[in-house]
Amino acid sequence: MKIELFYPYVPKSVVGAIKKTLSTKWIGQGPKVLEFENLWEEKISFSHKAIAVGSGTNALHLAYILAGIREGDEVIAPIFTYPATNIPLLYQKAKIVFADIKKDSLNIDPSDIRRKITSRTKAIVVVHYGGVPCDMDEIQAIADEYHIPIIEDAAYAIGATYKGKNIGSLSDFTCFSFQAVKMITTGAGGMLTIKNPKIVSWAKKLRLFGMEKTSKLEDRWAKDITEVGYRYEMTDIAATMGIEALKKFSSTLKHYQDLAKIYSEELKNIPSIQYIGGDSLCVILVEKREDLEQKLAIHGIESSQVDYRNDRYSIFGGRVENCPNMDMLEKKYLVLPMHHHLQKKDIQYICQVIKK
Ligand SMILES: Cc1ncc(COP(=O)(O)O)c(C=O)c1O
């Protein structure tokens, strides 16, 4: 028996839909991308405009540019996340100020944002780790006070809500990933949602070299390019996958939520374990992490830390000494299997092994 940590999920209907897309003249960015964006607005981001891109990292980079982050600007960012959250800040040559996590979760601590914010802070970046939403009211209050934007990394938070509102429909910018093992995958892909409709056409230009995409190719190339943009667009092949997955998303999400509920109930009364969540990743805190990892492996169950504190990577300038909660929790957190192919009995089995 082998229970994998992650496993990609692609709905069966994708195969037929891709076949159709491949028989049209649009396989790069075309009408399917627009359809995916419209569906995203209808189901996830509502009045926030959706812009499909080639990856979650593309979405983050575009958000940082649109938020006005430039060389030397201070940006408060999460110390604990997949490094793709923070690396595009280095593209912008920003000065990253790592904020600590909370004592009992891996999400950013609003009180540490407050401690570290200055008049030079240009933006606040947060990640909803594993799909557990950050304290958005507190963080929004700080952002409002300093008149700066929030950028949410929602790579793990498709379908997550905060106080009944969808992640993606809250702050200035939200960035989703459709990388291979996310709840919705397009192989590689991402979605940026934007609150301010006035900057949507700017975002679309940045997505394609700085060019205005018109239906007539010759017009597009004839026009001036006034700002350096990127090749960050999504293809219609990827969008086709995204559309099919999004149509089925309510049942996909329900399945993840059912699995998460079993974890939360089964693990809550074990004294040496603290269940953190969420729906995308099952994160726990455990005193003897290595022992547990080994025992799980003996029983054919994969587990891993998955992500690490980012100041371990030299590119971010070396280990910081002002994140005590991170210091405390870095030896304790562990991620347990969570993906669409798992059944309730698999989670019950994992919990049984942990209890033993
Ligand atoms: C938290 C987080 N942020 C950003 C990313 C980057 O997304 P992508 O791989 O689509 O570029 C990922 C993805 O894997 C992620 O897990």
Q: Which amino acid is at 237?
A: I
Res 273 pLDDT > 90: yes
CATH classification code of 250-355: 3.90.1150.10
What pLDDT is recorded for position 59? Answer: 99
**Considering only CA atoms, which residue is closest to atom 7 of ligand 1?**
56
Report which protein residue has its CA nearest ligand 1's atom 8. Answer: 56
Cα angle for residues 172, 178, 179 (degrees, 5° grid)? 125
Distance from C-alpha of 34 to C-alpha of 215, rounded to nearest angstrom? 13
Q: Is 152 in the pocket of ligand 1 (CB under 6 A)?
A: no
Q: Tens of pLDDT along 35-83?
A: 999 999 999 999 999 999 999 999 999 999 999 999 999 999 999 999 9
Q: Residue 176 has what pLDDT?
A: 99
Q: Is 276 in the pocket of ligand 1 (CB under 6 A)?
A: no
Q: Rounded to two decimals, what is the model's pTM?
A: 0.98
CA of 189 to the centre of ligand 1 (A): 10
CA atoms within 13 A on the CB side of 52: 29
Indicate if ligand 1 lies below 6 Å from the C-beta of 84.
yes
Distance 338 CA to ligand 1 centre (A): 17
Domain 13-248 maps to which CATH number in 1.10.599.10, 3.40.640.10, 3.40.50.970, 3.30.310.50? 3.40.640.10
Task: Give yes or no on whether 13-248 and 250-355 have one common fold.
Answer: no
The response to whether residue 190 sits with its C-beta less than 6 Å from ligand 1 reads yes
Is any ligand 1 atom within 6 A of the Cβ of residue 55? yes
pLDDT at 216: 64
Give me the mean pLDDT over the 339-345 stretch.
98
| pLDDT (0 to 100) of residue 222 | 82
Local structure of 166: helix, strand or coil: strand
**CB proximity list for 126: less than 8 A, separation 6 or greater:** 78, 107, 108, 134, 136, 139, 150, 151, 152, 153
Mutation test residue for ligand 1: of 177, 178, 232, 307, the one with most atoms within 8 Å of CB: 177
Distance 175 CA to ligand 1 centre (A): 9
Q: For residue 205, what pLDDT is reported?
A: 97
202-230 confidence digits (pLDDT tens): 999 999 999 987 666 667 778 899 999 99
pLDDT, one tens digit per residue, over 122-147 is 999 999 999 999 999 999 999 999 99
Upper half-sphere CA count for residue 143 (Cβ side, 13 Å): 23
105 close to ligand 1 (CB < 6 Angstrom):
no
pLDDT at 104 over 70: yes
- CB neighbour list of residue 170: distance below 8 Å, 6 or more residues apart: 136, 140, 152, 162
Domain boundaries, the chain: 13-248, 250-355
- Cα(223) to centroid(ligand 1), Å: 34
